[in-house]
Amino acid sequence: MIVEFKYAGQSAITSGLHDTDVRFATNSLREAAFFKGTLGNPILFREALAALYDVVVSDYKYHPRDRLAFKAWMESQDQKFLASLAVKSQQARQRIVELEARKDVLEGHRLDRLKPFYKSRQEYFDWVYYHQYELNYLFDPVITVHPDEVFFEAFSRDESSYARLGAKYDLFEKIDAFECGTTNIDFSAKLHGELDRMRTYRRTRFDIDATGFTVATDGGATHKEKKIDLPESWVKGFLQVHSTMSLGLTHFRMEPVDLFNLCRFLKRHKVKSSPRAMRFELDPGKPVRVVMEPWEHAIELSPGAIYEGPKKTTIRTWGRDRLLTLARLIPVAQKVDVYLAGQGLPSIYVADLGEVSFTLGLSGWTDNDWTSGTQKFDLLTRRLPVTAPELTSTYEALKKTRYASDVAVASETNLGLEKSRSALSYLCQIGRAMFDLSAKVYRHRELFAEPFTVKEAAAAVKAPAPSQMTAEEKNGEAIFASGGVLITARRPIATGGYKVSGSVRGTNAQRVRPVLSVDAAGRIVEATCSCAYFTKYALTKGPCEHVMALRLGHMSRLEQEDGG
């Protein structure tokens, strides 16, 4: 997918004796979103923005070393050794040693003469990094201006980490003007290098507009243009992130010192052997224990990090080094909320910095980005039948207020609560909305520049083609349509919601017993099944056909209770 960016100028930070001007250049090819104000706490914003950049440029996937130079050296040593075997006399051997020593001296002189060349070459590589690397490989963050906050969203280079920085308007000493909307901003390495120039004793202006810093030429103002071949996985990743956030997640809260202890251990200990998981041991009413494998080193979190879930459980996550991107936020954080989707599934960390919130979403493991394999978290979110007019009315209601809870949207549209939740889920999965986990509200956010149309609404609610469905998804629908789902029990749970047990006749005609746990909002909290597929993969490759079928049966029951 080719996406065009056009910036009139470039984002930059300029500092004077008493003033600092932070200006982000926006994509002029998108809607006219802007914001102008004065920061009340520039240090807090500086640290959060630096952490966002660390996520944008991070790449924790394994990349094998380039060993061509080493192999060439080894070959030369082999040739010298073979040549020495043919030398019989001691005099000839001594002469070879003298010549080799002379050669080393001459090589040193050659390197001294080439130092200016190497310096110029490094300067050229630096120029290429600042200009071409960013043009071709870094994907500029998406920025959205809302009535209550300005927030940035971005993916890491390896597409395994998602970051969201939300700056509430309480952060600003003065707000001059703003226009709600979504656009991209130019976020360069040069800008990141200038962040440390922000100080509390300087009055800091914060501007988001289309002009940025322009340079006058004979032909007029210069424009910085990008045409990026945006990977499909990057786009799908955004959609899968918010599908995950809208699930019922295992939650606990920890203190900044707990995050510090985790990051300190990760920095001091490196391992090359398995297992390399970070194991969360959750016991109701007790502080959470985090065990680092393979050392089995247990870190008991602070007394305030109490797990309040209904039952004792253990959840393992991988790719723990990515947590280090939050290290810079530790001194300014007030608390950190942790959300776990399950064994080998994504984990989400929401750092509360006061006037700023920072969300870091990590996929199941580093090499497993948000869309690799058959992992489809949208299959676990609600999907009551929604018509194109219902989806359009939900979109308009959310766009009108920019952010709202599912209850408020249901009241505005006069749709049932379950129907509104399904419509909001659809909007998240087509890039027209996002779920703010820190505030527990849905927000209007246009991932792309094209306006929302009735045609797109109809395509969104249309059943996907068989080629776009996983085998489990197709089989689950076929089982439900053929009446192969029997809900055997539906019991309320203490925290609200239901535990749904069923008997499902699979495609192989054998009956298995899947179980779903849903919270008060009807979101999937836990799923198990007695089939071989679930025993082998659990949910790491998406739900099995039996879980899919039971989920459809539960959704049908919710629709009946919702009056639909």
Are 523 and 448 within one domain? Answer: no
Per-residue model confidence (pLDDT) at position 336: 97
Q: What is the DSSP string of 441-477?
A: EEEE--SSSSPP-HHHHHHHHSPPPGGGS-HHHHHHH
Per-residue model confidence (pLDDT) at position 521: 64
Are 240 and 338 within one domain? Answer: yes
Q: Which of 414, 434, 461 marks a domain boundary?
A: 461
Are 328 and 401 within one domain? Answer: no
Among the listed residues 365, 307, 396, the one whose alpha carbon sits nearest the alpha carbon of residue 541 = 365
Contact assessment for residue 381 and residue 548, using Cβ atoms and an 8 Å cutoff: no
* Mean pLDDT score of the chain: 81
Per-residue model confidence (pLDDT) at position 13: 67
Contact assessment for residue 165 and residue 205, using Cβ atoms and an 8 Å cutoff: no
Report the first-to-last Cα separation within the chain, whole angstroms: 38
Alpha-carbon dihedral angle through residues 94, 100, 105, 106, given to the nearest 10 degrees = 130
Contact assessment for residue 339 and residue 347, using Cβ atoms and an 8 Å cutoff: yes
Are 358 and 430 within one domain? Answer: no
Rounded to whole angstroms, how far apart are CA atoms 246 and 337?
15
Per-residue model confidence (pLDDT) at position 215: 36
pTM (2 decimals)?
0.77
3-state secondary structure (DSSP) of residue 548: helix
Contact assessment for residue 172 and residue 149, using Cβ atoms and an 8 Å cutoff: no
- pLDDT tens digits, 199-258: 777 788 888 876 543 333 344 444 455 544 455 666 666 667 767 776 778 899 999 999
Are 330 and 423 within one domain? Answer: no
| 338 within some domain | yes
Per-residue model confidence (pLDDT) at position 99: 82
Per-residue model confidence (pLDDT) at position 22: 72
Residues forming beta bridges with residue 185, ordered by sequence position? 26
> Which residues are CB-neighbours of 427 under 8 A, at least 6 positions away?
391, 394, 395, 398, 433, 442
Exposure string over 247-283, b if 16+ CB within 10 A, otherwise e: bbbbbbbbbbebbebbbebbeeeeeeeeebbbbbbbe
3-state secondary structure (DSSP) of residue 312: coil
| 39 within some domain | no
Rounded to whole angstroms, how far apart are CA atoms 317 and 423?
31
Instruction: Provide the 10 A C-beta neighbour count for residue 520.
Output: 12
Q: Which of 112, 136, 160 marks a domain boundary?
A: 136
Rounded to whole angstroms, how far apart are CA atoms 508 and 484?
12
Per-residue model confidence (pLDDT) at position 462: 81
Per-residue model confidence (pLDDT) at position 226: 52
Are 275 and 328 within one domain? Answer: yes
Are 93 and 75 within one domain? Answer: yes
CA 334 to chain centre: 22
3-state secondary structure (DSSP) of residue 105: helix
Rounded to whole angstroms, how far apart are CA atoms 144 and 157?
21
Could you give phi then psi for residue 99, rounded to 5 degrees? -65, -40
What total of structural domains would you count in the chain?
4
Are 424 and 533 within one domain? Answer: no
Are 481 and 536 within one domain? Answer: yes
Query: How far, CA to CA in Å, does 38 sit from each of 171, 229, 329, 393?
Result: 9, 36, 22, 36
- pLDDT tens digits, 255-289: 999 999 999 999 999 887 778 899 999 999 999 99
Q: Is the peptide bond before 231 cis (omega within 30 degrees of 0)?
A: no
* pLDDT tens digit at each of 564 positions of the chain: 444 555 555 666 676 666 777 767 666 656 678 888 898 888 899 899 899 988 888 888 776 666 666 777 788 777 777 776 666 677 777 777 788 888 888 888 888 888 888 888 777 766 655 555 444 445 678 889 999 999 998 888 888 888 999 999 999 999 998 989 888 777 666 666 677 777 777 788 888 876 543 333 344 444 455 544 455 666 666 667 767 776 778 899 999 999 999 999 999 998 877 788 999 999 999 999 999 999 999 999 999 999 998 889 999 998 899 999 999 999 999 999 999 988 878 899 999 999 999 999 988 877 665 555 444 566 666 567 789 999 999 999 999 999 999 999 999 999 888 889 889 988 888 888 988 988 989 999 987 778 888 888 888 888 666 666 778 888 888 899 899 999 999 888 776 778 899 999 988 888 999 998 887 666 677 889 999 998 888 877 778 899 889 988 887 887 777 654
Q: Which of 108, 136, 164 marks a domain boundary?
A: 136
Hey, CA dihedral for 482, 484, 490, 496, is it positive or negative?
Answer: negative
Domain that holds residue 403: 382-461
Are 326 and 408 within one domain? Answer: no
Alpha-carbon dihedral angle through residues 418, 419, 420, 421, given to the nearest 10 degrees = 50
CATH code of the domain containing 501: 3.30.310
Exposure string over 236-246, b if 16+ CB within 10 A, otherwise e: bbbbbbbbbbb
Per-residue model confidence (pLDDT) at position 506: 87
- pLDDT tens digits, 38-69: 988 888 998 998 999 888 888 887 766 666 66
| 207 within some domain | no
Residues forming beta bridges with residue 122, ordered by sequence position? none
